[in-house]
Every structure is written in structure tokens, then in C-alpha cells.
Amino acid sequence: MSAEEQEAFLAPIRAKYEEESSAYYSTARLWDDGILDPTETRDVLGLALAAARNAPVEPMRPGVYRM
């Protein structure tokens, strides 16, 4: 395979990887919870910690494990 043929073969693959590796690509398909603006990090982290602090914690009751 010549260098030109190899480049012609690899170019669409590279383009696809370049497009699909973007954070915007995955968040547009709802694969995550969205992109957080760095200026909002403190507010969102505070909300998450407050929600975790106030969440009820149920006692752990493991089942019987038979081996």
C-alpha cells in the first residue's frame, strides 16, 4: 500500500475520531450530565455535597453469601 493510499484510507477514520472525541459530541447525545462551566464549579459542587449530606442513609443489611 503506497503512502497516498494509506493516507486516503486513514483520513476518514481520523476525521471520525476527531469529531467524536469532542466533549460536545458526547454531551449532545446525552451520554453524560452535560458540560460544566468552570466558573460554576464551586456552586455545583456545593449543591452536590449538600444533597449528599442530607440524603437518608439506610442501614446495610448484607444477605447470606454461600460459597
Q: What is the C-alpha separation between 45 and 53, in angstroms, rounded?
A: 12
pTM confidence score: 0.52
In the predicted structure, residue 67 carries a pLDDT above the cut 80: no
In the predicted structure, residue 45 carries a pLDDT above the cut 90: yes
Closest CA to 33 of 18, 20, 48, 21: 48
Sequence spans of domains, the chain: 3-53
Task: Give the model confidence (pLDDT) of 6-39 as tens digits.
Answer: 999 999 999 999 999 999 999 999 998 889 999 9
Instruction: Identify which has the larger pLDDT, 58 or 12.
Output: 12
- Secondary structure (3-state) at 2: coil
**pLDDT score, position 26:** 92
Report the pLDDT averaged over residues 36-53.
94
Distance, C-alpha 32 to centroid of its chain: 5
